[in-house]
Amino acid sequence: MPVYEYRALDAAGKSKKGIIDADTPRAARQRLRSQGLFPIEVTWTSVEKTSSGWRHLTWHRLSPKDVSAAIRQLATLVGSGLPLVESLNALIEQSDSPEMKRSCTQIKDRVVEGGTLADAMSSHPKMFSPLFINMVRAGEASGALEVVLNRLADFSESHLKLRNKIRATMAYPFFMLFVGLAVLFFLFTFVIPTVTGMFTEMKRALPLPTLILLQVAGFFRAFWWLLAAGLVGAFFWVRKMAQTPRWGLAIDRFMLRAPVFGGLVRKLIVTRVTRTLATLLASGIPLLTALAIVKAIVTNREIVGALDKTIQDIGEGSDLAGPLRKSGVFPPMVIHLVAAGEKSGQLEEMLNKIADAYEDDVETTVTSLTSILEPVMILLMGGIVLFIVVSILLPILEMTKLVK
């Protein structure tokens, strides 16, 4: 059924905006009038409704930051005592993103039709993960929706904060690497062949560094497009192979054991697993269900396999610490704190402590790696430039001696 964006006035003369589904624009106007609204403008929009919910036909996507902000605003509105539908209306009115307005309007319409908030959110899988949907469902069932929404907002903001810190810390080294490679490409492709062109006309034996430089510069000038195509092809080949079970598992295992960066990847995964599990358990979701949700949001296949075995063992009567220890993929500190949390009945608190500790560890590790990478990159670039300068100067010095 077609969907229309509308702008209308209510009985108090206040302007209202939203979307509505109808067969024709005339039917949409009649439906708005039946809801006590006076339509001013009704236009078709690129969203349609299917049997499983709403489906977007546009290419616009909401960022995690937008979703996190919306959850925080909704938690504040619900916590202030407003009914859910009025809270969603307020969220729609104060949102500046057209895509957020559409999504929230669709969610509000499903709630008005009698659906739960969790069911309405489940029709937007690209916007809300299984973690969000299951926690909201648990919050609605227990009557603690405000508490759950605040926990979700805290979880999202913590995750975004860590990700932004990592990106900000790594931005400078990657920028330096990009600029350095671009400069070297320009030198080897355009500048060096021009400068060293006279050396080939000398018909004299050239020093070894100069010969190497000429060969490398000639290769780059003649086959730079082949090198670029090879790199792009290798990237897509690795990406395709990573989607197969065998190679994907091998790549994920390598990512956990790679020198220097393997420990960082493992710490990031442990942080996400423990923080998510703690948030789910604190919201009243059973352990097995919480582990299944955590497994769904983890992308590393070896960790997924370990969580699968953990779920199976817990279903057979085991505790949580035992299967995690047998998996061999979680650090000993995680195992000991989980075991202590189970014995004391404070598993959620222990999981949050693990997540806090590893978040701090990740920040420290990233900062340390950055402090090491920067001088290494400077030395590497300096070494390459020195080699170029020496390779060009050696023949010039020999020519100077011959002139004398």
Mean per-residue pLDDT, 209-213: 82
Mean per-residue pLDDT, 259-263: 83
| Cβ pair 395, 202 in contact under 8 A | yes
Mean per-residue pLDDT, 249-275: 87
Question: Is 214 a residue whose pLDDT tops 90?
Answer: no
| Residue 36: CB atoms within 10 Å | 10
Tokens of 259: 């020198």
Domain-located, residue 129:
no
Q: In the predicted model, what is the mean pLDDT of the chain?
A: 82
Percent of the chain's residues with pLDDT above 90: 10
Question: Is 392 a residue whose pLDDT tops 90?
Answer: no
Cα–Cα dist 364/374, whole Å: 16
Domain-located, residue 181:
no
Q: What is the structure's pLDDT at 204?
A: 66
Whole-structure pTM value: 0.69
**Identity (one letter) of the amino acid at 85?**
V
The per-residue pLDDT for range 40-85, each reduced to its tens digit, is 877 766 554 444 444 444 434 567 788 888 888 888 888 888 888 8
Residue found by looking up tokens 């790199």 in the block: 231
* Residues in CB range of 234: below 8 A, 6 or more apart: none
Tokens of 95: 């949102």
The per-residue pLDDT for range 294-309, each reduced to its tens digit, is 888 888 899 999 999 9
Domain-located, residue 93:
no
Q: What is the structure's pLDDT at 146?
A: 84
Percent of the chain's residues with pLDDT above 70: 90
| Cβ pair 377, 173 in contact under 8 A | yes
Cα–Cα dist 402/396, whole Å: 10
Question: Is 175 a residue whose pLDDT tops 50?
Answer: yes
Q: What is the structure's pLDDT at 341?
A: 92
How would you classify the pairing of strands 38-45 and 3-9?
antiparallel
Q: What is the structure's pLDDT at 227?
A: 82
* Residues in CB range of 36: below 8 A, 6 or more apart: 10, 11
| Cβ pair 94, 66 in contact under 8 A | no
Question: Is 252 a residue whose pLDDT tops 70?
Answer: yes
Cα–Cα dist 128/54, whole Å: 13
The total domain count for the chain is 1
Domain-located, residue 84:
no
Cα–Cα dist 12/7, whole Å: 15
Cα–Cα dist 276/92, whole Å: 28
Give the range of the structural domain holding residue 37, as residue numbers without chain letter. 1-45
Q: What is the structure's pLDDT at 199?
A: 67
Q: What is the structure's pLDDT at 401?
A: 65
Domain-located, residue 210:
no
The per-residue pLDDT for range 116-152, each reduced to its tens digit, is 888 888 888 878 888 888 888 888 887 788 888 888 8
Burial class (CB in 10 A: 0-12, 13-18, 19+), 204: exposed
Q: What is the structure's pLDDT at 51?
A: 41
Q: What is the structure's pLDDT at 202?
A: 63
The region, left, alpha or beta by phi > 0 then psi within -120 to 50, assigned to residue 246 is alpha
CA angle 284, 288, 292 (to 5 degrees): 105
DSSP string across 188-248? IIIIHHHHTHHHHTS-SPPPHHHHHHHHHHHHHHHHHHHHHHHHHHHHHHHHHHHTSHHHH
Q: What is the structure's pLDDT at 21?
A: 66
Domain-located, residue 156:
no
Cα–Cα dist 238/393, whole Å: 42
CA 326 vs CA 249, 265, 311, 317: distances in Å: 19, 20, 13, 15
